[in-house]
Structures are given as C-alpha cells and as structure tokens.
Amino acid sequence: MPRPGDVALERIEQREGPRPFVVAQLGQSLDGRIALPCGESRGIGASPSLDHLHALRAKVDGVLVGIGTVLADDPRLNVRRCEGRNPARIVLDSRGKLPATALCLDGADGARRIVFRSNAGGPVLPQGVEVITLPAPDGRFDLAAVLDRLGELGLRSVLIEGGACIISRAIDLGLVDRLHLMVSSVILGSGRAGLDLAPLARLNDARRPRTDVIPLGQGDVLFDCDMRA
C-alpha cells in the first residue's frame, strides 16, 4: 500500500560516478529541537516518521552515522518497518571509540559494515567489518573524501542519518542532494537544535531549496528539499 512519503523516495537517485547520491534525514520538533538537554531523542517522531526513515534506509545503498549517534542511541541502522534490503552500515569513528558490541556491527543479516578510522587504534571489530583509514587531523574526516571512498566501494546512494553536526557540515560543503526534514507536532522548549550552518552575512544568501511539503500523518510533516535547486 502506498505511503504519503513514497513520492519523495522516488526522487532518490542511484548515481553512477565517483560520488554517491546523498540524502540527509533529520527529525525535529516544532521548535527545531532534535533532543532534550540530556540527549534523549527517541520518541520525538510519531510512527509515520519512523516508517519513512526505514523506507529511506531500504532505498539507499548505505546509511552513514557518526560515532556520537552510535554511542548515544546504539541504532541497528537496518530495515524493520517496511519491506526492503538492509543497506550497508557506515560509521565515522575518527578516534577509535566504536565498541565491538555496537548493534550496527552485527553481521547476521549479511549487510556490509564499514567503519572509517584515522589510524589503526581502537577496539578490535567483529569479523567482516571493513575498516577504512582516512586522515582526520582535527578529529573530523573530510566528508567529501569519505563519500568519494564510498563511491569507490560501489555505493551509489547514501543516507546521512546523523548526527546533526555531520548533516550540517555536509550541507555547508554542498554535498547533500536532498534533505528530508521531518517535523513532528511536539514542542520541547529547550534542548539540542537541529541544523547549525555557517552564519550568513545577508538574508539574500540564505538557501531556498525547492521543497515539497508532505503530511505523513499523526501530525508528522516531511519537508522534501532539493538542495541542488
């Protein structure tokens, strides 16, 4: 049965070339918060937002998160709420903090597991995990280099699922093709903000992406933004 967000999923491409098609996903409250001050974020989105997130995962070749997201939420990063294959699970771990017991490293479903590190340090990871070494002089990887490497590994589309800092950096660098911003009908009043982009000198410099507004149900609304427009 078609879902309201299916039209947005159809716009995700499988790019043949040196760099994958990139879609970023961010869920937030009406007042632009993605988590409480303590870091709790589960439950902001209602069931339709979760359904769309899992459909996004099923649509792409790989889903990418930073080590902060793994340590905070220990996500599985697989597909459970819809039909579809599990994408490759990709973690950016510049300082070797990723525990071998992280759920996203479970290889029972046969999905690829790819971890980016800046050196050979850190815990020994489970068998089958692909470890890619890239420089991260300030503790942060060059996201363009990460995406180029994923393209070399055969991934044609990547979902950046978190955290907000990585998504913000990717947007600032012009690496995001589409942004799926899901707003839920909840007001937190305080906590962690969503996007935090480089400051603008003038309002005329603000990004104005071509955007479709798609009600998902239960108060959840998807803003499907074409970041190339």
Domain boundaries, the chain: 20-35+53-173
Q: What is the pLDDT along the chain (229 residues), one digit of tens a residue?
A: 788 999 999 999 999 889 999 999 999 999 999 999 988 888 899 999 999 999 999 999 999 999 999 999 999 999 999 999 999 999 999 999 999 999 999 999 999 999 999 986 788 999 999 999 999 989 999 999 999 999 999 999 999 998 999 999 999 999 999 999 999 999 999 999 999 999 999 999 999 999 999 999 999 999 999 999 8
In this prediction, residue 122 carries a pLDDT of 82
Q: b or e along 69-92 (b: 16 or more beta carbons within 10 Å of the residue's beta carbon)? A: bbebbebebbbeeeebebbbbbbb
In this prediction, residue 77 carries a pLDDT of 98
Helix axes 164-172, 143-152, angle to 10 degrees: 90
Give the CATH fold of the 20-35+53-173 domain: Dihydrofolate Reductase, subunit A (3.40.430)
Task: Judge whether 135 and 149 are in contact, CB under 8 Å.
Answer: no
In this prediction, residue 85 carries a pLDDT of 97
